[in-house]
Amino acid sequence: MRFSFARASALALLTLLFAVPHARAAEPGEVNIYSYRQPYLINPLLKEFTDETGIKVNVIFAEKGLIERIQAEGRNSPADLLLTVDVGNLTQATGAGIAQPIKSAMLEAEIPAGYRAEDGEWFGLTRRARVVYASKERVKQDSISYEELADPKWRGKICIRSGQHVYNVALIASMLAAHGEEWTETWLKGVKANLARKPAGDDRLQVKGVYAGECDIAIGNTYYMGAMLQNDKNPEQKEWANSVNILFPNTGDRGTHVNISGAVVAKYAPHKDNAVKLLEFLASDKGQEMYADVNNEYPVKEGVPWSPLVKSWGDFKPDPISLNEIAALRKKASELVDKVGFDEGPSS
């Protein structure tokens, strides 16, 4: 009787000793995201990730200042992952020293080399094309090139946001890659001369300018079309969107300029493994299809189907130039914007 009791007690103790550490090791844990992307754009994906893995996702959303915040928090930062848009913002994060290189065979296999950093410090997750929105009433051509934007036939007919915005800096950097500095400076002066007004506002307001007759064409990202067409809170934006056609510049030759949304793993990420798991989920077939669909963007992974809305805009050839090269030319592009006084408007 005493032997049986002692044996049972010992077994119970052993069970506790081994079971508790095992239970802790099995806990899925959490991951902390700092996001420039709006909640409605990523919450469906984060919920799916938690449902699949059990990993709790904590998110801080902000329109600006997150890179600086992570930098200021230093080693004490709770941030595991930064979500943002444009290669310019991604390279700003790496330049600020807040990212760490990630080695993942899955990410390298699923994300083409042109859409991720060569050293693994940033990864593209969705693509967006920088296109021309053309008035259905006043523009009859169904193709265009970026080079043509400097043609005098467009004098006083182009709307665009600030040349120093990251979207346009990247576009100008792509022109530098294609044509060199001297040619691009002359081209930028020509585009400036063709502006209908001083650059201002976001991409949606450029489409509004076409709708209102202030200009015939505008430069913007493709996903804004989806955002306007699906905006039930501001139905007038559907009217703006329906007044234009999307033209994919240079799709018949070198290709349309494409940029990305993406992420970096924070340098001092307390849950690095979970951050990588989330990145790998977003790069998976399911993650890519969901992310692109919710955001009206294009997957970075080849073979993942486009959403019906995005597909309705037509096919196009993306510029094959690596975004690593675009990133390296951003400083020169920004300098050219100031040199020609682009943001001062057409009459300056």
User: What tens digit of pLDDT does each residue of 51-85 get?
Assistant: 999 999 999 999 999 999 999 999 999 999 999 99
Per-residue pLDDT of 160-187, as tens digits, reads 999 999 999 999 999 999 999 999 999 9
- What distance in Å separates the CA atoms of residue 169 and residue 335, rounded to the nearest whole number? 10
- Residue ranges per domain, the chain? 11-16+22-127+260-305, 129-257+317-344
- pLDDT band at residue 318 under the 50/70/90 scheme: very high
- CATH topology assigned to domain 129-257+317-344: D-Maltodextrin-Binding Protein; domain 2 (3.40.190)
Tell me: pLDDT of 292 over 50: yes
Element (H, E) at 180: none
Quote the pLDDT of residue 233: 84
Nearest to residue 47, comparing CAs of 291, 305, 298, 295?
291
As a whole number of angstroms, the distance between CA 85 and CA 125 comes to 9
> In this model, does residue 23 exceed pLDDT 60?
no
Lowest mean pLDDT, pick from 2-6, 11-15, 108-112, 170-174: 11-15
| Average pLDDT in the chain | 92
pLDDT of residue 8: 41
- With pLDDT > 90 as the criterion, what percentage of the chain qualifies? 87
Say which residues have a Cβ less than 8 Å from residue 62's Cβ, sequence separation at least 6: 34, 35, 36, 69
**Residue-wise pLDDT tens digits, 194-246:** 999 999 999 999 999 999 999 999 999 999 999 999 988 889 999 999 999 99
Question: How does residue 28 score in pLDDT terms, banded at 50, 70 and 90?
Answer: confident
Q: What is the mean pLDDT of residues 307-311?
A: 95
From 181, 188, 182, select the one nearest 147 (Cα to Cα): 188
pLDDT value, residue 85:
93
Whether residue 151 is predicted with pLDDT greater than 70 in this model: the reply is yes
pLDDT at residue 21 is higher than 70: no
The band of 2, judged by pLDDT with boundaries at 50, 70 and 90, is: very low
Strands 258-265 and 30-35: unpaired
DSSP 3-state of 315: coil
Predicted local distance difference test score (pLDDT) of residue 39: 85
Per-residue confidence (pLDDT) for residue 27, from 0 to 100: 62
For residues 34 and 40, what is the distance between their CA atoms, to the nearest angstrom?
15
Other beta carbons within 10 angstroms of residue 221's beta carbon come to: 21
Burial level of 164, CB count in 10 A (0-12/13-18/19+)?
middle
Query: What is the pTM assigned to this prediction?
Result: 0.89
297: its two tokens: 């963007």
Distance from C-alpha of 255 to C-alpha of 244, rounded to nearest angstrom: 21
Domain pair 11-16+22-127+260-305 / 129-257+317-344, same fold: yes
Specify the pLDDT at position 309.
95
For residue 35, pLDDT over 60 is answered with yes
pLDDT per residue over 81-103, tens digit each? 999 999 999 999 999 999 999 99
At the fourth CATH level, the homologous superfamily of domain 11-16+22-127+260-305 is: Periplasmic binding protein-like II (3.40.190.10)
What are the beta bridge partners of residue 34?
Answer: 60, 82
